């Protein structure tokens, strides 16, 4: 470690944008940057991103974060990421748009995998259930069978973090935690499972090299340095999935501790020290060889609120632009005027299907109980409450069926600064909620990994004690909790009562059917 190395750079490719943060070694945020991008969804059930736009957004985010920071003071760079599949050529450039975790086109491939490998065998090796979108293997097979030219042209099949590492260093790698979500990785032995590759006719050379999250894999190239303003040769580590970064950024390293990251999707997660996994959860390696992490992945949280913003809140967006206020605060302020339970209005937040715990790609969003007496504030609050019910659904399983005792939840991400949302979650669960004042928890976690790789911290416990600062604490309002406890059984039953309709809606294929009929008529 050089004395001139006084900062760390963390980067996170998220579902709606790339964040970058420059941190002092004590965790103080020195500079930040953000580049937003749009999801490409031209057909129902499909969700893509332009990976070249990721790179351009990352360049801008790094430059903004580095404003006023000397490049030579950056000791190392850590990268975290959401999930998706990016086919790249030998130069690391994308061949086609990235297929993201919300994408459901590979659903038929799940049946193929069941026939070829067996669902129980896949779970036994990988610690994860079979599902499209959330895991890479179905998407890989979809690409192989539906776009064989893209599959053959692909030098490597990458995840977002590894893609960014490749653009920075020229090295093609995948960290162990994100490799855990491919369904091709032995979660206990931490290596590609060759029997699966052989049965599915996947050449292992198409896959990047698995590396530990804090392993230094290369240095910033001259070309990347010129684009980003970084110093050439600055070490870049293997990185991590966003939820591992969040575990470090929230200070959750002990079994029984639990955190929630409220981003585009929400993740209810915590460490486990046994290799026994629940099939309703996503599971991945942690930062040490004797620890893993469960992840209750919930699709429709930040994405549901953003949908509300984009679909119904043009007035609030205009107000925000005129006054400089945050548009989400304008929305949640209205929700605060609605009573707990939103006057009996329930919302199922399954706008993009759902993962934990129902694993239903056909699931759709539902507003239930709408009356003439409901107003905008009630609708907005019901969306916040739907997310809280989804979190409670996951936490209840952890406690009732997995033997964990969870006394409090640490909350990071966009909702960490929302007083009303934090209070709704505390009231719904009947547990203390602690917000994280550092809103970029994944970015901080990636930076901590980078610092540990160079010996800036003696261990991760010391790193967390030095860098993580907690914020406000929210105690449950027990009167509100009683209201939510009455509604929660109905929330769970509502899905069971309507689930048979969801697949019917998908099979109707109404949007494309309407276009076809209109074209034929014309």
pLDDT of 27 strictly over 90: yes
Residue 411 belongs to some domain of the structure: no
Helix axes 107-116, 119-126, angle to 10 degrees: 90
Work out the number of other CB atoms within 10 angstroms of the CB of residue 374.
18
pLDDT of 516 strictly over 50: no
The arithmetic mean of pLDDT across residues 60-73, rounded, is 96
Per-residue pLDDT, 522: 42
For residue 179, the domain's CATH number is 3.30.420.40
Residue 136 belongs to some domain of the structure: yes
Per-residue pLDDT, 276: 83
For residue range 148-207, list pLDDT tens digits in order: 999 999 999 999 999 999 999 999 999 999 999 999 999 999 999 999 999 999 999 999
Per-residue pLDDT, 264: 78
Work out the mean pLDDT of the chain and round it to a whole number: 93
Helix axes 242-250, 460-467, angle to 10 degrees: 70
Residue 66 belongs to some domain of the structure: yes
For residue range 327-348, list pLDDT tens digits in order: 999 999 999 999 999 999 999 9
Residue given tokens 């990988």 in the structure block = 126
Residue 291 belongs to some domain of the structure: no
Per-residue pLDDT, 132: 86
d(CA 250, CA 248): 5
Residue 258 belongs to some domain of the structure: no
The arithmetic mean of pLDDT across residues 293-321, rounded, is 93
Per-residue pLDDT, 28: 94
Order of strands across the sheet that contains 259-262: 282-285, 292-298, 266-272, 259-262, 408-413, 432-436, 470-474
DSSP classification of residue 96: S
Per-residue pLDDT, 302: 86
Could you give the percent of the chain with pLDDT greater than 70?
A: 96
Identity of the highest mean pLDDT range in 106-115, 221-230, 436-445: 221-230
Alpha helices in 365-429 (DSSP H): 376-401, 419-429
Residue 168 belongs to some domain of the structure: yes
**At 146, which helix (H) or strand (E)?**
helix 136-146
d(CA 213, CA 76): 13
The arithmetic mean of pLDDT across residues 238-260, rounded, is 93
Paired strand residues for 191: 186
The arithmetic mean of pLDDT across residues 383-405, rounded, is 95
Residue 383 belongs to some domain of the structure: no
For residue range 158-170, list pLDDT tens digits in order: 999 999 999 999 9
Structural domains in the chain (count): 1
d(CA 406, CA 72): 43
Per-residue pLDDT, 170: 98
Residue 129 belongs to some domain of the structure: yes
pTM: predicted TM-score of the whole model, two decimal places: 0.85
Per-residue pLDDT, 1: 52
101-110, 154-163, 373-382, 510-519, range with the lowest pLDDT: 510-519
For residue range 256-273, list pLDDT tens digits in order: 999 998 877 888 999 998
d(CA 232, CA 225): 5
Q: CA–CA distance from 282 to each of 116, 247, 269, 420 (Å)? A: 22, 15, 9, 29
Instruction: Tell me the two tokens of residue 506.
Output: 């998908």
Give the residue among 243, 246, 237 at the shortest CA–CA distance from 78.
Answer: 237
Give the residue among 265, 290, 291, 270 at the shortest CA–CA distance from 281.
Answer: 270
The arithmetic mean of pLDDT across residues 281-297, rounded, is 93
**At 19, which helix (H) or strand (E)?**
strand 17-24
Q: Is 57 helix (H, G, I), strand (E, B) or coil?
A: helix
Instruction: Tell me the two tokens of residue 227.
Output: 């684009």
**At 256, which helix (H) or strand (E)?**
none
pLDDT of 393 strictly over 90: yes
The arithmetic mean of pLDDT across residues 496-505, rounded, is 93
Instruction: Tell me the two tokens of residue 89.
Output: 């050529």
d(CA 103, CA 444): 28
Buried b (16+ CB within 10 A) or exposed e, 5-36: bbbbbbbbbbbbbbbbbbbebebebbbbbbbe
Question: What is the domain range of residue 127?
Answer: 7-238+438-468
Per-residue pLDDT, 439: 65
């Amino acid at each position: 470690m050089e004395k001139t190395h006084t900062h760390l750079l963390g980067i996170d490719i998220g579902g709606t944008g790339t964040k970058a943060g420059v941190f002092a070694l004590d965790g103080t945020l020195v500079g930040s940057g953000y580049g937003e991008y749009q999801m490409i969804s031209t057909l129902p059930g499909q969700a893509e991103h332009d990976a070249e736009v990721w790179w351009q957004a990352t360049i801008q985010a790094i430059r903004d974060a580095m404003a006023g920071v000397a490049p030579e003071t950056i000791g190392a760079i850590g990268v975290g990421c959401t999930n998706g599949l990016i086919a790249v050529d030998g130069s690391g450039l994308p061949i086609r748009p990235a297929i993201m975790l919300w994408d459901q086109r590979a659903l038929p491939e799940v049946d193929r995998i069941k026939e070829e490998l067996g669902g129980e065998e896949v779970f036994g090796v990988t610690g994860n259930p079979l599902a499209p979108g959330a895991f890479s293997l179905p998407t890989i097979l979809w690409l192989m069978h539906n776009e064989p030219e893209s599959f053959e042209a692909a030098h490597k099949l990458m995840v977002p973090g590894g893609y960014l590492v490749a653009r920075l260093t020229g090295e093609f790698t995948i960290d162990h935690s994100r490799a855990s979500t491919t369904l091709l990785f032995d979660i206990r032995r931490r290596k590609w499972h060759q029997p699966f590759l052989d049965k599915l006719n996947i050449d292992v050379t198409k896959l990047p090299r698995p590396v530990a999250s804090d392993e230094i894999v290369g240095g910033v190239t001259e070309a990347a340095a010129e684009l980003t303003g970084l110093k050439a040769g600055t070490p870049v580590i293997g990185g991590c999935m966003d939820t591992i970064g969040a575990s470090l950024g929230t200070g959750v390293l002990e079994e029984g501790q639990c955190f929630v990251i409220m981003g585009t999707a929400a993740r209810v997660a915590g460490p486990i020290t046994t290799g026994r996994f629940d099939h309703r959860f996503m599971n991945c390696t942690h930062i040490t060889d004797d620890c893993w992490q469960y992840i209750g992945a919930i699709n429709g949280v930040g994405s549901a609120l953003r949908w509300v913003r984009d679909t119904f809140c043009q007035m609030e967006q205009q107000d925000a632009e005129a006054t400089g206020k945050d548009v989400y605060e304008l929305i949640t302020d209205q929700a605060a005027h609605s009573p707990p339970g939103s006057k009996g209005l329930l919302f199922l937040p399954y706008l993009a299907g759902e993962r934990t715990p129902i694993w239903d790609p056909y699931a759709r969003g539902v507003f239930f109980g709408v009356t003439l007496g409901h107003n905008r504030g009630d609708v907005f609050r019901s969306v916040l409450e739907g997310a809280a019910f989804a979190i409670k659904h996951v936490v209840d399983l952890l406690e009732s069926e997995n033997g964990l005792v969870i006394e409090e939840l640490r909350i990071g991400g966009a909702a960490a600064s929302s007083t009303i949302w934090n209070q709704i979650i505390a009231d719904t669960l009947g547990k203390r909620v602690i917000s994280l004042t550092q809103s970029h928890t994944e970015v901080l976690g990636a930076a901590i990994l980078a610092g540990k790789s160079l010996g800036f911290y003696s261990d991760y416990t010391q790193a967390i004690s030095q860098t993580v600062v907690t914020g406000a604490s929210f105690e449950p309002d027990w009167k509100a909790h009683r209201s939510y406890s009455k509604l929660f059984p109905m929330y769970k039953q509502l899905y069971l009562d309507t689930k048979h309709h969801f697949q019917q809606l998908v099979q109707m294929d109404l949007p494309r059917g309407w276009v076809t009929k209109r074209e034929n008529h014309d």
